Structure formats: C-alpha cells, structure tokens
Structure 1
C-alpha cells in the first residue's frame, strides 16, 4: 500500500477525468469504502450512505446526469454519496465530509478522481432534476438526498501538485479582514 504524508496527499489531489482502462483491485476498493464509512459525522449518526458502481453500462447511464458528469463513463468505479435528513439535520455536512475523505483516500492509493455535485443547495429545481435522474438509475429511495458522485480510476496522466497561492485572501487571522 502506498502511503503518503497527508500534506502531500492534499497537494496531489487534482480533478482527474481521464482514466486508464485498468480495474481497481478489490483491496483498494475496500480501503476506499472504509474511508467513506469511517469519515466523521455529527453525533456519530449514520447520516450518509454510499452506492458503489462498477458496471460500465450503469456508469455510462450516470454520465448522462444533468450535472456535467460525462467523465464518469470512463471511471472504473463511482461512489454515489447520499444523505439521510431523517437521521440527522447535518446530513449535507456529513456526506460532504465523507466525499473529501473518500477522495483523499483515493489519492493515497494513487488513483485519480473527480467530483460531480448532484445536490445544489441554492437551486431546488435543479437538485430535483439531478436527484430524480440518479434516483431512477440506481433505485435510490425518496428519503435520501444525493450529494455527489465521485468517479475513480487509474489516471491517464498525472498533473503536477498544486501549490497554495500566496496572499490569496482566503485565510484571515483573528478577525475577518477584507483585502
């Protein structure tokens, strides 16, 4: 197992949408699933669930989700991350944190990945359109919200590591200071 320092993993996380046609081994998939379910959640409630998709026809169908997910058809696997508002009012935060853990775990395995938002917090109509599409493809119950689809595979190329911009105005100290 490839182990990187956490900072290196964070810097090397890039959006990868071109993948080699090489399967992800079962042990790697298991570690990704473990990372997802071990991610923190408010009050340790099971407010998020995951659907792992490996079937190429299903991946191709998910690529048609009205959320710019055409790249998912080339992934070896996709994780559909859902939230349970019936279990926790923090379902969106919990499922979003799980997405981050999952993506960083994939980078640790030297996989490439991409994130496609399904839930659109500021557009209920768009959310309904996207969720209904994914719901039909995967038979997801109506009481789940669909946060995102993450696709993973062996990257066709490796872009360089990201470097944080200097004085970007994104980090403030002690109080909020406009730049």
Structure 2
C-alpha cells in the first residue's frame, strides 16, 4: 500500500477474526517498531510481543478501556526508558505509530490501549504495575501502551482528513 492509503485506512479496530497472525507478518511489524526514530538514536524504548491467548485475556484487566484485548491475536507492549533518554515518551509514541501503520499495511486492524496516564499519576501507576507484574517488566521502565491487533472482523471505510480550518495554521498561529 502507498502511505496515503495506509494513513486513511488506519482506524481503531477492536473486533478481530479468529485467525492467527503469521510469524512473518509479526516480524515485519516488529521491524517497523525497531526502525522508528528515537531522539539521539538512543535505545529509549523496548517492545514486548504478546501472542499467548491467556496473557492477552489477562492484560485486558490493565484498564477498563481495553476489553478488546481478549479478542486480539497479538499485542505489542511499548515501554520507555527514562534512564536512557528524557525523550522516552516521544520515542515510544512514535514507535506506536509505526507499529499501528505497519499493522494496517499488513491487512491487520489495531487498537491503542493507553497504560501511561500523564495527568493521573495514581491511575498510571496502577495500570503500569498490573502490566509490569504480568510481563516481568523491570521497575525502571515506563509502560506507555499496549497495541492489540488481529485481522478485522469487518472493514471500516477509510478516513478523510478532518476540517482543517481550526487545526492547520500557515506561517503563524491563526494564519
């Protein structure tokens, strides 16, 4: 697919067919994650690939907003390393985009489950601890998100760009 088509087809997909994702497809998605840029090219983000049905069902308990994980056929947990780079959050966020777009390019649907909560430290700690314990993630890592994926149970129409009048500015804000 061409990039514009991938960008337009990228939708939040939370209902998946009962069809496994091949190792080759997962490898290409993992490669895309590793190719995502990082500030100063530092290894400030790490990834945990989860394919176990039992673990996917367990991870659904991290937050009430990810019930679809129990239907996913795979997930990638994205972590950040504040000890490696002060830009860990940006680096991990960019990697999430690469993962999601690579999944779309492979014909998969994906959804983003936020674990890190920038505005609620207690909620963030609760979510992160749940995932950390399940996946044995060291305490020095922040857990940004879980991206669940699978073959879509239904096809959604491609997106069109939203009205740009209030979102896009030229030369100066409001210009």
Is the TM-score greater than 0.5? yes
| Aligned structure 1 segments of 4 or more residues deviating by more than 4 angstroms | none
In the other structure, the counterpart of 1:42 is 39
Corresponding residue to 2:111 among 90, 110, 114: 114
Corresponding residue to 1:55 among 49, 52, 61: 52
Equivalenced residues, count: 175
> CA offset at residue 123 of structure 1?
1.1
Change (3 A) 1:116 1:162: same
Conservation of the 8 A alpha-carbon contact between 1:67 and 1:130: no
> CA offset at residue 168 of structure 1?
4.1
Corresponding residue to 1:156 among 135, 139, 153: 153
Single out whichever of 60-69 and 148-157 deviates more from structure 2. 60-69
Corresponding residue to 1:124 among 103, 121, 129: 121
In the other structure, the counterpart of 1:134 is 131
Mapped to 2, the partners of 1:16 and 1:172 lie a distance apart of 31
In the other structure, the counterpart of 1:78 is 75
Mapped to 2, the partners of 1:64 and 1:12 lie a distance apart of 28
> CA offset at residue 167 of structure 1?
3.6
Q: Could you tell me the TM-score, scaled by structure 1's length? A: 0.95
Mapped to 2, the partners of 1:24 and 1:126 lie a distance apart of 32
Mapped to 2, the partners of 1:16 and 1:159 lie a distance apart of 8
Conservation of the 8 A alpha-carbon contact between 1:67 and 1:116: no
Structure 1 runs not aligned, ≥5 long: none
> CA offset at residue 67 of structure 1?
4.7
Residue deviations 1:10-32 (CA, integer Å, cap 9, x gap): 00000000000100011000000
| Coordinate RMSD, CA, aligned | 1.0
Change (3 A) 1:67 1:40: farther
Q: Could you tell me the TM-score, scaled by structure 2's length? A: 0.97
> CA offset at residue 166 of structure 1?
2.9
